[in-house]
Structure 1
Amino acid sequence: MLVTRVEAEVGGVMLPYGPAALCAVEREIPVPGAMFGIDEDGVTTLRQLQLAVPLHTGTHTAIFAFSTEDVDQWDNYLQVMAEILRTVSADEPETEPHSTAAEPAAG
């Protein structure tokens, strides 16, 4: 696949878990019209956020990535990703999820 243009912003961010590296990339990607049953080829813009979180073990990295062609909603998607990344934890997950809803009565 041929990529016609790539722009990227890179940097670091501090998460509750610890430091992470981020890269926001925007690409213009040719789309063959034949994929959609039309004669003319087109171009689409794809934006992606990649976040590399070094794990506390020191030997591995977790990569989180989000991609969209809906670049008009990018800021909203970033807010969602930020909320997700705030939940990254070194703590082991609980074996049973909590429920704030009342248990149904036996009947």
Structure 2
Amino acid sequence: MTPTANPVLSVLDGVPPLSFTAPEGFFTLPLAASPDERAALSKAFVRELYSRGDEALWTPAAPFYEALAEQLAYAGVSYSAMGLFSTDDGGVVRCSFTLAAVETEQTDPEIAAHGILTALGGDPRHDARWMDLPCGPAVSCVTFREVTLSPEITASGAEERLLTGQIQVYIPFPTGPHTAVFTLDTASTEYWSEFCDLLVAVLRTVSFAEPADGTGTAGGSL
């Protein structure tokens, strides 16, 4: 699970550019502005995500991802993807990945990162750590949660507990008063170390440089 040549460049209103390389296996959820665009793009998205499916699967799935895209866009998420990766035993592991740009009052990346580390480190549920990335200082925060699944939705017909993990990485922009928040969530915690390595590889490709050709997006629309 390593990044490949799938560049994603964000140019949002009032937010300086940010780019990163998404790994092979990421399926970008369309966060279109209008309902008609979201509906059309969600139909195409489910056909790509479930390429071996048919209309019986695609038809009910498309409205779900359309609604999810609307909620994410409303929450300020500028990029969202589903990650699907095959395992050596023929199985599949999944994760969700998002990027949001949060406005802050601090323009010095190092001061901003120290403030974030202090704030997150005050919660005993958080494993917050400093990171030195090629693009600048950052802070990672790992959280594990146990979710109880009701018998109605489990294969066994009995109540089950599911452990989920989340990694959030906060990277202050060196080009303006914003912080990029990368979030990876997964219930496939048996592959936690692989997902950590995957996210670190993606973060090492983050850049805040202006696009060389002055264009808006490459490889995806945020």
TM-score, normalised with respect to structure 1: 0.74
Candidates 129, 136, 141, aligned match of 1:23 = 141
- Structure with greater helix share of residues: 2
Tell me the equivalent position of 2:152. 34
* 1:39 CA displacement: 4.1
**Higher relative contact order, chain-length normalized (CA < 8 Å, sep 6+):** 2
8 Å CA contact 1:7, 1:27 repeated in 2: no
Change (3 A) 1:38 1:72: closer
Q: Which runs of 5+ in 2 are unaligned?
A: 1-123
* 1:7 CA displacement: 4.2
Aligned-residue CA RMSD in angstroms? 2.2
* 1:93 CA displacement: 3.2
Q: Does 1:56 find its partner at 2:169?
A: no
Tell me the equivalent position of 2:126. 8
* Partner SS state of residue 53, structure 1: strand
* 1:38 CA displacement: 6.0
Q: Percent identity?
A: 28
d(CA) in 1 for partners of 2:155, 2:193: 32
TM-score, normalised with respect to structure 2: 0.38
* Partner SS state of residue 82, structure 1: helix
State the number of aligned residues.
92
Change (3 A) 1:33 1:11: same
Change (3 A) 1:71 1:38: closer
Q: Which runs of 5+ in 1 are unaligned?
A: 1-5, 98-107
Q: Does 1:65 find its partner at 2:188?
A: no
Candidates 192, 195, 199, aligned match of 1:74 = 192
Q: Which residue identity does 1:63 align to in structure 2?
A: V
Structure label with greater radius of gyration: 1
